[in-house]
């Protein structure tokens, strides 16, 4: 996807970064919903992959690149709607694309937050 780059993140490991400016409300990322997994097999995935498995329309989705590299922020710049991540505000070229994982249905998510936001909750848990 030419609009997004994957590179080292200050938040965690690798992250997804804007290769151009995005306007508020614009589609930043469309989800690849083709890689599904049975709930019982999620525990067999590597931790870095398992932490991003989410439930969508009754299926468990293993995100592919670049979505698998999205990092959490308590002050995320995107939000999920209808299989897409949309810009919550204007996003500048070079800025890391972030999601609020506590608002997502990520299976069994519980992690220490390192987003650096002034509103950081320190621990992130998902409704999934």
The sheet with strand 78-81 has its strands ordered as: 27-30, 84-87, 78-81
Nearest alpha carbon to residue 127 among 57, 54, 51, 69: 54
- pLDDT for 109 beyond 80: no
d(CA 115, CA 128): 21
CA end-to-end distance (rounded Å), the chain = 28
Classified as helix, coil or strand, 68 is helix
The confidence score (pLDDT) of residue 93 equals 98
Domains and CATH numbers, the chain: 4-125 (2.170.270.10)
Which pTM does this prediction carry? Answer: 0.84
* Chain centre distance of CA 57: 17
Mean pLDDT across 67-83? 90
Q: Indicate the average pLDDT of the chain.
A: 87
Mean pLDDT across 86-102? 94
């Amino acid at each position: 996807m030419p609009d997004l780059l994957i590179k080292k993140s200050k938040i965690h490991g690798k992250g997804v970064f804007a290769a151009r400016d995005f306007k508020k409300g614009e589609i930043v990322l469309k989800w690849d919903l083709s890689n599904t997994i049975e709930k019982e097999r999620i525990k067999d995935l590597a931790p870095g992959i398992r932490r991003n498995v989410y439930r969508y329309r009754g299926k468990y989705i293993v995100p592919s690149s670049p979505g698998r590299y999205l990092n959490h922020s308590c002050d995320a710049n995107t939000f999920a709607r209808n299989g897409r991540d949309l810009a919550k505000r204007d996003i500048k070229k070079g800025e890391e694309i972030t999601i609020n994982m506590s608002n997502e249905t990520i299976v069994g998510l519980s992690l220490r937050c390192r987003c650096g936001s002034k509103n950081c909750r320190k621990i992130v848990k998902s409704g999934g």
